[in-house]
Amino acid sequence: MVDGKGGASFDKVMFPVWSPDSSKISYVAQQKGDFIIVNDNKKSQPFAAISDLQYNADGSSLAAIVKKDGKDYVWIDGKLQASADQIDQFVWSAHGSHYAYAARDNASWRVFHDGSAGKAVVGVQLLTISPDGKHVAYIGSIGSGYIVQPGVMNQAQISAKTQLLLVDERTLDSESGATYTFTGIVFSPDSQQLA
């Protein structure tokens, strides 16, 4: 129901999101055990699960991570874009024309930037995309796993021996054996600097 006007009937409605200009609302609906995306009153095909439903910055595209036949997929504007054993951390660029996400097949994770695969790593944390959409940065684990402070979300402590800060799939140089703690990775508004 939006502004007192009823819509289609479902067993359950969840995760409503408005387009940035407030002209459209989309949500996940459950019906007879299946999940569907309802976008501007149009229903998607059924899925086993749906997460990360989000509009891009100008509201022209809607994306989600969906599960079908035991695989995760990136779903953008009604089309399945990619599949993997697991997909996580979908992000749009600030302008909304570029995207990135982390995908795992077997034991290897890769970051995909506009559909192009990056290096294989053991894990991905703190994935971010520059405002202009041209660059991605993340913590990529290459060793025995993350060192994460218990109870603190979105924080990664990296050691040069096991993990790397990757920017556009290039490893940033670090002192041998140095340890760094990241609670986030952020690009400058002009996309030219990283902190």
Nearest to 15 by CA among 58, 43, 50, 40: 50
Question: Are 176 and 151 contacting, i.e. CB atoms less than 8 angstroms apart?
Answer: no
Question: Considering the entire predicted model, what is its pTM?
Answer: 0.78
pLDDT along the chain (195 residues), means of 10: 64 91 93 91 94 94 96 95 92 91 90 87 83 84 45 42 52 53 78 81
Q: What pLDDT is stored for residue 117 in this prediction?
A: 87
Give the pLDDT of residue 153.
39
Per DSSP, 115 falls in state T
Residues 25, 23: Cα–Cα separation, whole Å: 7
What is the model's pLDDT at position 86? Answer: 95
Distance between CA atoms of residues 56 and 99, nearest Å:
9
Q: What is the pLDDT of residue 148?
A: 33
SS3 assignment, position 110: strand
Fold of 85-195: Neuraminidase (2.120.10)
The pLDDT of residue 170 = 54
Burial class (CB in 10 A: 0-12, 13-18, 19+), 133: buried
Q: Where are the domains of the chain?
A: 1-84, 85-195
pLDDT at position 169: 53
Is 10 exposed, middle or buried, given 0-12, 13-18 or 19+ CB atoms closer than 10 A? middle
| Residue 63 backbone dihedrals phi, psi, to 5 degrees | -130, 160
CA dist 155 and 181 (Å) reads 7
- Give dist(CA 93, CA 71) in Å, integer: 25
Which pLDDT score is estimated for 4?
56
Q: Which residues lie closer than 8 Å to 166 by C-beta, 6 or more apart?
A: 111, 118, 119, 121, 137, 138, 139, 140, 172
What pLDDT is attached to residue 7?
66
pLDDT at residue 59 in the model: 93
What sign does the dihedral 109-99-91-189 (CA atoms) show?
positive
What's the pLDDT at 160? 43
Which residues on adjacent β-strands are paired with residue 48?
Answer: none
Give me the phi and psi of 188, to 5 degrees please: -70, 160
